[in-house]
Amino acid sequence: MKVIVWCSSYADYILLISYVLIGSTCPITFWNGQIVDVSLPLQAQWKVTETTQNGGQTLAILENGLSVSVPAFIDVGDTIIVTTEDCKYVSRV
């Protein structure tokens, strides 16, 4: 199963591209020279490059530059799974 993502602006596409790991494939549908949808897997795995504590909440910066709220036991170097629909933490690999 894939998530079909509709983007209404160029900024949305830039965020979307951050979910695509270098070297992986991502089907993109064009119509009249415009991107009309992008099919992503439901989840993606990313390595944590930095963590910060903010008022009892741990924020992980991933290798693709996205920030995700994670449990406190997640450390730099861990690989985690996030949803591509809403960028939520799922589990540690």
Segments making up each domain of the chain, as ranges: 2-41, 43-92
- C-alpha to C-alpha distance for 88 and 67, rounded to whole angstroms: 10
pTM above 0.75, yes or no: no
Give the per-residue pLDDT at 72.
92
DSSP letter at 55 equals T
> What pLDDT was estimated at residue 86?
82
pLDDT of amino acid 55: 80
The correct CATH number of 43-92 out of 1.25.40.10, 2.40.50.140, 3.40.50.300, 3.40.50.2300 is 2.40.50.140
Question: Which helix (H) or strand (E) is 69 found in, with range?
Answer: strand 67-70
* Measured distance CA(2)–CA(43) in Å, rounded: 9
Q: pLDDT tens digits, the chain, 93 residues: what are they?
A: 444 455 556 566 556 666 666 566 777 788 888 777 777 778 888 999 999 988 878 999 998 888 899 999 999 999 999 988 788 999 999
